[in-house]
Amino acid sequence: MKKLNAEILNEYGPYQGAEAVHGVTFDGKRVWFASGDKLNAIDPDSTKPVDSINISAEAGTAFDGRHLFQIANDKIQKLDPTTGQVLATIPAPDGSSGLAWAEGSLWVGQYQKRKIVQLDPQTGEVLRDIESNRYVTGVTWLNGELWHGTWEDDNSELRRLNPQSGEVIDSFAMPQGTGVSGLESDGRDRFFCGGGNSGKLRVVRCIRD
Amino acid sequence: MESQIREAAEALAIGDPLAALNRVALRDDPSALALRGIAMAQLGEFDRARVLLRGAVRAFGPKQLLARARCIVAEAEIALASRDLGWPVKALNEAQQTLEKHGDQLNAVYARYVGARRLLLIGQPDKAAQEVDADNPASLPPALETIRELIISGIAIRRLEVRRARSALKQAERSSHEARIPALVAEVANVIESLELPAARLITQRCERYVLLDEVEELMSSKAFIVDACRHSVRLDGQVVSLVTRPVLFTLLRVMAEAWPDDVSRDELVARAFRAKGVDESYRARLRVEIGRLRRLLKPLAKVRATSQGFVLEPVGARKVVVLAMPIEEKHGVVLALLSDGECWSSSAIALALNWGQRSVQRALDALASEEKVCSFGRGRARRWRIPPMPGFATILLLPAALPVD
């Protein structure tokens, strides 16, 4: 296994009043990331900020094809991504961190409690509480490499794994003290990493020989 | 587009269905359908998962063998998770061969493990062991390694090899943390925890107490004469006599074992074994016949001696007699033990796992439902049964053998 360094191409933030980078979602054109008091849109090609919505954005972000959903404290706000207007607000379960829209429902991850809650996106009604205490369907769709961010005691790495064996092929060390939380790749050689509590979003490139 | 498929696949591989759905929830191409199906399964939405995966199989078309085989394995695993044990094993085996032929070693191993887990659930640990021993890939990814060790521990538990189960679980714990999949970490932790719960009751004339599985294992290799009410058999020095098909004889034996070294009166034996209120001559005659049958069955291990009052059990070598019973005993305790895994079972899966007839299962379920010990939802073939898990007992560990319901 080779030990290589990850090159940080860009850092955004920290934003004023933002303690951390939270949810990251990709709407097909832009990467949206939540940074405490804003939703920021970045053009993945130029890595430049192209838009932002001033809104409390402390946790997960999701997209249903037309609207953005953003967790903010004890509520989930439904936004028009073009105008930034809040169209509706529904209550969020306690301790919500992750968010996704799928199959007509909102799915909220309460990672501390190891629970996922299914919500009606219209009313916020809790349809189901899912305990994640049993692992189902590990059938893998991976043909190529598997990237995995690790972060322990202030040392973090981006690792490339062989999905067939789980073996670490390369590991790219991030500079000391830069964390990895949430990993989004642009499908080529760049990653968007949430910087955890640093409040930064980093664009990282891992160069292999 | 392709990058999103890959990212969703990566997210699913590390057990993060929400991140996966953020990539593919809005797409209807075959790969996206399959990934949505797998994500829904990870969220426990089995019905929706099934629909999506079947849609994916149709959309892939007959030429895309590899993709279709993956969908079939995922569907088989969903059937397993929803305790629908009657799904076609043949389709899973074919899918496994396809995966092997096309070099998808990882999913091929996974398919084999799905089959092994099903065998374990329907009480065939030896067959499950063959599946796990069949291949020993040098290095599996941590998640797959965890599942392998979970199966090995399950087999060991069924065989009452607790030390072996614990060492497999230790390994599973390590690799589940490496895999960093919360649901997998929790699943391993639950099994480890269950080994610290009472698995049975030990009953002698003098006392009755709960025991852990380790003690059950120790007992089995001890010199005691064991009347095993969990699996309706008798053990002495490694010899086993099964009374699974002889419930009346087993009851007589158990009553005498609980009274040992004292005898039990004829009246009490009649009352307990034949559930008769008053005892007349015809019952006494029937008792004589049944005791005669029991004597023949127990011949190498114990005698049944007549006393002035009734009968007394005398194991060879005047060994200590103990009765091993389920931690919670009731009429349909075996069904409850099976359901105590907290999953939703179909009645046909219960019949398969206990080796009962469908009608006996239905009767047991109806009785339990009338006492509000189980509940059902869905209709017809989609009907599922479950119980609120019974806290504090590991009823599942000593799953009984097939037992006829009279």
**What value does the mean pLDDT take over residues A30-44?**
76
Compute the count of residue pairs across chains A and B with CB atoms less than 8 Å apart.
Answer: 156
Span of B130-134, B276-280, B359-363 with lowest mean pLDDT: B276-280
Say whether A116 and B184 touch across the interface (CB within 8 A).
no
Q: Which of B2, B16, B22 to mutate to test the interface with A (most CBs of A within 10 A)?
A: B22
Poorest-confidence range of A178-182, B39-43, B287-291, B357-361? A178-182
Residue bearing the bigger pLDDT, A175 or B51: B51
- DSSP for B175-231 reads HHHHHT-HHHHHHHHHHHHHTTS--EEEE-SS-EEEE-HHHHHHHHTSS-EEEETTT
Assess whether pLDDT exceeds 80 at residue B106. Answer: yes
Contact (Cβ atoms closer than 8 angstroms) between residue B234 and residue B246? no
DSSP code of residue B394: -
Average pLDDT, chain A: 74
Assess whether pLDDT exceeds 90 at residue A177.
no
Residue type for position B77: E
From A20's Cα to the closest Cα of chain B, the distance in A is: 18
For strands A49-57 and A61-63, give the pairing.
Answer: unpaired
Tell whether omega for the bond before A121 is within 30 degrees of 0, i.e. cis: no
CATH code 1.25.40.10 region(s) in chain B: 1-196
Give all domains of chain A, ordered by start, each with its CATH number. 2-206 (2.130.10.10)
Disruptive mutation site among A76, A110, A137 for chain B (greatest number of B CBs within 10 Å): A137
Say if residue B212 is exposed, middle or buried (CB neighbours under 10 Å; 0-12, 13-18, 19+): middle
CB contact under 8 A, A135 and B14: no
From residue B89, give the alpha-carbon distance in Å to each of A79, A91, B160, B355, B398. 47, 45, 27, 18, 26
CB contact under 8 A, A166 and B145: yes
* Six-digit token string for B347: 């009645």
Element holding B257 (H helix, E strand)? helix B247-259
Q: For the domain made up of B332-386, give the CATH fold.
A: Arc Repressor Mutant, subunit A (1.10.10)
CA nearest neighbour of B128 among B74, B89, B84, B186: B89
Domain B1-196 matching CATH 3.40.50.300: the answer reads no
Report the pLDDT value the prediction gives residue B41, as an integer from 0 to 100.
Answer: 93
pLDDT of residue B405: 36
Contact A187 B48 (CB under 8 A): no
Is the pLDDT reported for residue A21 higher than 70? no
Which of these ranges, A116-130, B113-127, B130-144, has the smallest mean pLDDT? B130-144
| Least reliable range by pLDDT among A192-206, B73-87, B108-122 | A192-206
Whether A33 and A23 have beta carbons less than 8 Å apart is answered as: yes
Tell whether the model's pLDDT for residue A171 goes beyond 70: yes
Decide: B37 and B74 in contact? Cβ < 8 Å.
yes
Task: Give chain A positions within 8 Å (CB) of B45.
Answer: 103, 118
Q: Identify the band that residue A13 occupies on the pLDDT scale cut at 50, 70 and 90.
A: low
The predicted pLDDT at position B348 comes to 87
CA-wise closest residue to B322 among B393, B250, B260, B241: B260
pLDDT band at B135; cut points 50, 70, 90? low
Q: Which residues contact B61 (CB under 8 A, 6 or more apart)?
A: none
User: Cβ contacts (< 8 Å) between B6 and chain A: which residues?
Assistant: 142, 144, 185, 187
Q: Which of B18, B106, B114 is the best mutation test for A, with the most CBs of A within 10 A?
A: B18
Rg of chain B over all Cα atoms, to the nearest angstrom: 25
Please report residues of B whose CB lies closer than 8 A to that of A161: 141
Is residue B62 exposed (0-12), middle (13-18) or buried (19+ Cβ within 10 Å)? exposed
Q: Is B139 in Cβ contact with A167 (below 8 Å)?
A: yes
Tell which wins on pLDDT, B265 or B180.
Answer: B265
Res B401: pLDDT: 46
Q: In the prediction, which pLDDT does A16 show?
A: 46
Choose between B38 and B247: higher pLDDT: B38
Task: Please give the structure tokens belonging to residue A65.
Answer: 């094809």
Average pLDDT of chain B is 86
Mutation target to probe the B interface, by most B beta carbons within 10 A, among A30, A111, A119, A135 is A135
Give the contacts of A31 (CB within 8 A, at least 6 positions apart).
A24, A25, A41, A42, A44, A184, A192
Q: Which residue of A has its CA nearest to B109?
A: A139
Question: Which residues in A lie closer than 8 A to residue B107 (C-beta atoms)?
Answer: 139-140
Which CATH number fits the domain B201-325, given the four candidates 1.10.10.10, 3.40.50.150, 1.10.287.130, 1.10.357.10? 1.10.10.10
Say which of A99, A103, A139 has its CB closest to residue B110: A139
Question: What 3-state DSSP class applies to B368?
Answer: helix
Determine contact, residues A194/A22, Cβ cutoff 8 Å. yes
Q: How far is the alpha carbon of B52 from chain A, nearest alpha carbon, in Å?
A: 10
d(CA A207, CA A185): 14
- Range(s) of chain B covered by CATH 1.10.10.10: 201-325, 332-386
A116 min Cα distance to partner chain B (Å):
8
pLDDT surpassing 60 at residue A187: no
Q: Is residue B118 scored above 50 in pLDDT?
A: yes
Residue type, B357: G
Identify the band that residue B342 occupies on the pLDDT scale cut at 50, 70 and 90.
confident
Confidence of residue B10 (pLDDT cuts 50, 70, 90): confident
Does residue B158 have a pLDDT over 80?
A: yes
* pLDDT over 60 (residue B96): yes
Looking at beta carbons, which residues of chain A come within 8 Å of B81? Answer: 134, 136-137
Residue B280 scores a pLDDT above 60: yes
pTM: 0.77
Residue with tokens 């075996």: B334
Chain segment B283-307, per-residue pLDDT in tens: 888 888 999 999 999 888 888 899 9
**A25: chain B residues, CB-CB within 8 Å:** 22
Residue found under tokens 């060879």:
B316
Q: How high is the pLDDT of residue B86?
A: 81
Q: What is the mean pLDDT of residues B363-369?
A: 89
Structure confidence at residue B384 (pLDDT)? 85
| Closest chain B residue by Cα to residue A168 | B141
pLDDT, residue A159, reads 73
Give pLDDT, residue A65.
Answer: 83
Rounded mean pLDDT of B180-193? 89
More confident residue, B14 or B401: B14
pLDDT band at A78 (very low <50, low <70, confident <90, very high): very high
In the block, residue with structure tokens 């009313």: A123
Chain B residues within 8 A of A109 when measuring between CB atoms: 18
The minimal CB distance from A166 to the residues B39, B42, B141 is found for B141
**Quick check: A87 pLDDT over 60?**
yes
Pairing state between β B321-325 and B225-228: parallel
Do residue B182 and residue A114 have CB atoms under 8 angstroms apart? Answer: yes
- The CA–CA distances, whole Å, from B205 to A91, B236, B263, B276, B330 equal 60, 19, 11, 24, 20
pLDDT of residue A89: 93
Residue B262, pLDDT score: 92
Percentage of the residues of chain A whose pLDDT score is greater than 70: 59
Give the three-state DSSP class for A21: coil
Q: What percent of chain B has pLDDT over 90?
A: 35
Q: Which residue has the higher pLDDT, B334 or B346?
A: B346
Region of A83 (left: φ > 0; alpha: ψ -120 to 50; beta: rest) is alpha
